[in-house]
Structure 1
Amino acid sequence: MPADLWPLLDLRLTTSRLVLRCPTDDELAALADLAAAGVHNPGERPYLTPWTEGTPQQTAVHVVQQHRSRRGDWSPDSWALDLGLFCDDRPVGMVALRGREFPIRREVKTESWLGLAHHRQGLGTEARSALLHLAFAGLGAHSALTEVFQDNAGMQGVSRRLGYRHDGISRDVRDGQFLISDRLRLNRDDWFATDRMRVDITGLAPCLPSFGL
């Protein structure tokens, strides 16, 4: 698809180690293979998505289908920006920034996964920081939300380090059992009250109408 029809293809977020951007078809296939190789240790369930319950082929198909369906379902009133994470041009994971009725709500949600080989290197925090910079500095968001299982120590730690505060709970079902997730919120004033890592955004201006702005 040419960028003049889908300007989000030219959107780039760049940090000291990462580039966040829309993947090409070949890169999406590589990201799908990365997810199929594992996004968390066997026996863990840190996400509602049952990453380890299907076959590697089913996991890879899920990554491709989700990315393409989000692009196909995009509207200025309801969007999910699905970006690949690249470190030295190698795919290491994916992130998403989601908004609904954004010009009114001014609220976003984030989600992410990393290939298992790329855990515990600070890349998850760096990627989330880049998304939040886009949300607050680029799109003018007022708040960012995330929901984290109470037993997901890694994602809880990332959120707390970035300044999220407890904002209630959500009730979920995982493996047929009820469990509680913490709902965490980061407000615009708290984001800008702290020095943050540098993030360079390019290609945003032509994308603003896609976000309803």
Structure 2
Amino acid sequence: MSTLVDLYPPFGLHVVAGPLELRGLTDELLREVCDLAEAGIHDPDTMPFYFPWSLAPVGELGRNTAAYHWSKRSTFTPDDFCLDLAVLLDGQVIGCQGVAAKNFPVTRTGETGSWLGRDFQGRGLGTAMRQAFCELLFDHLGFEEITSAAFLDNPASLGVSRKVGYRPTAVQRIQRQGELALNQGLVLTPESFVRGGHAVEVTGADAVRAFIGL
């Protein structure tokens, strides 16, 4: 009889880096992620995301978050996927880390994105979870390049990228909530990648490699 991991291999991904874990976003973990999002991610006067999804009212925000992740599961193909993992600290869900890729078997690149609950920010956890995730992508899932981006008025995100080894590329002028915002592009390669201080243990990657077309 098939298991849920057989049907959707990302459920079986498990990354351990010291006290941090990154796990496949099962419905049980997704419920905790939704509760965490509703508890707050950022000051309401700031907006770190391209699309202001985090401003939805309590109740609606949780449903929207669940619906987004369910939709990404249902449309996951090697040519267009979002691989999102729950981030846990000592067993408690503290945020999400993911990568979006198109035509991956050819391009071998994708754009990372992440968020942390407000209670867990400013403690170096954003850097540690990005390092563990990038090690998963480079060493186990066949990525040859990783990109990211952050608004110039989001120094915390830019600081994480700098610590991990991302290099700046072009600055884009885009619309954010009806106003101009400057978005800094970033790129990471295996040669520039700054690894974390903990050994990273990965299970479940072989099935995901096949799932993304390798």
TM-score (norm 1): 0.93
Instruction: Kindly indicate whether the alpha-carbon contact (under 8 Å) linking 2:135 and 2:195 is maintained by their aligned counterparts in 1.
Output: no
Q: Residue 187 of structure 1 aligns to which amino acid in structure 2?
A: T
Deviations 1:92-130 (CA, angstroms, capped at 9, x unpaired) = 111111221112111121001111111111111111111
- Determine the structure 1 residue equivalent to 2:120: 118
> How far apart, CA to CA, are the structure 2 residues paired with 1:195 and 1:130?
8
> How far apart, CA to CA, are the structure 2 residues paired with 1:28 and 1:156?
27
> How far apart, CA to CA, are the structure 1 residues paired with 2:119 and 2:195?
29
- Determine the structure 1 residue equivalent to 2:60: 58
Shift of 1:208: 1.2
- Residue 177 in 1 paired to residue 175 in 2? no
List, as ranges, runs of 4+ consecutive aligned residues in structure 1 with deviation greater than 6 Å.
none
- Residue 89 in 1 paired to residue 86 in 2? no
- Residue 164 in 1 paired to residue 166 in 2? yes
Q: Aligned residues: percent identity?
A: 32
Q: Kindly report the root-mean-square deviation, in angstroms, between the aligned alpha carbons of the 2 structures.
A: 1.5
- Determine the structure 2 residue equivalent to 1:209: 210
Shift of 1:52: 5.0
Deviations 1:51-77 (CA, angstroms, capped at 9, x unpaired) = 553211122122111111111110011
> How far apart, CA to CA, are the structure 2 residues paired with 1:114 and 1:51?
14
- Determine the structure 2 residue equivalent to 1:199: 200
> How far apart, CA to CA, are the structure 2 residues paired with 1:85 and 1:51?
19
SS of alignment partner, residue 111 of structure 1? strand
SS of alignment partner, residue 22 of structure 2? strand
Change (3 A) 1:203 1:53: closer
TM-score (norm 2): 0.92
Could you list the runs of 5+ residues in structure 1 that have no partner in the other structure?
A: none
Q: Residue 103 of structure 1 aligns to which amino acid in structure 2?
A: P
Instruction: Say how many residue pairs are matched.
Output: 211
> How far apart, CA to CA, are the structure 2 residues paired with 1:23 and 1:111?
15
Q: Residue 4 of structure 1 aligns to which amino acid in structure 2?
A: D
Q: Residue 107 of structure 2 aligns to which amino acid in structure 1?
A: R
Shift of 1:209: 1.4
SS of alignment partner, residue 40 of structure 1? coil
Q: Which moved more, 1:52-61 or 1:130-139?
A: 52-61
